[in-house]
Structure 1
Amino acid sequence: MALDEKPRLEEIRDNLRARIAGAERERWFGEVEGLSTSLAAAEDKIAQIEAQQEKKQSPVFLGIPNLSQLTARISEATK
């Protein structure tokens, strides 16, 4: 999923919410159920894009060698 898909998915999500509200007013419960399924899928895709974006922006922990690892490297280098 590309980041450029997010605005379109948000538009779809907002449209689905409005359609669900209309269907609830008209008491079309079958329609509400189908639209709710689509809304859940759209929200899931948006969450995936946000998680992917957050992962790209977060630092990567490379670890810090402990003292025994450092001394082993130093002793090997001096041989």
Structure 2
Amino acid sequence: MLPRLAEIEKDLALRRKRAEEEQWLGEVEGIDLTLTLVRAKQADAAGAARRPPVVLGIPTTRRPSQ
């Protein structure tokens, strides 16, 4: 997920640059908001990647009681 988020961030930065050049102020504002959310998602994903996996064990079936 992190490589895809980095790709999205890079694309948004390029779109923001174009929007600034064209003076599309509303577009710049929208891209800034999206960039903020993407960066937060990157931080969450990086934190999750550092946490060890949870071992749930192998499920078993119950024996019928007699």
Q: TM-score, normalised by structure 1?
A: 0.61
Q: CA RMSD of the aligned region, Å?
A: 1.0
Aligned residue in 2 for 1:8: 4
Runs of 4+ residues over 4 Å off in structure 1: none
The structure that has the greater radius of gyration is 1
More helix by share: 1
Tell me the alpha carbon deviations over residues 36-70 of structure 1, each in whole angstroms, 9 at most, x when there is no partner: 111111111011011122233xxxxxxxxxxxxxx
Matched residue count: 52
Q: Greater relative contact order: 1 or 2 (C-alpha under 8 angstroms, separation 6 or more)?
A: 2
TM-score by length of 2: 0.71
Give structure 1 stretches of 5+ with no counterpart: 57-79
- Identity value in percent: 37
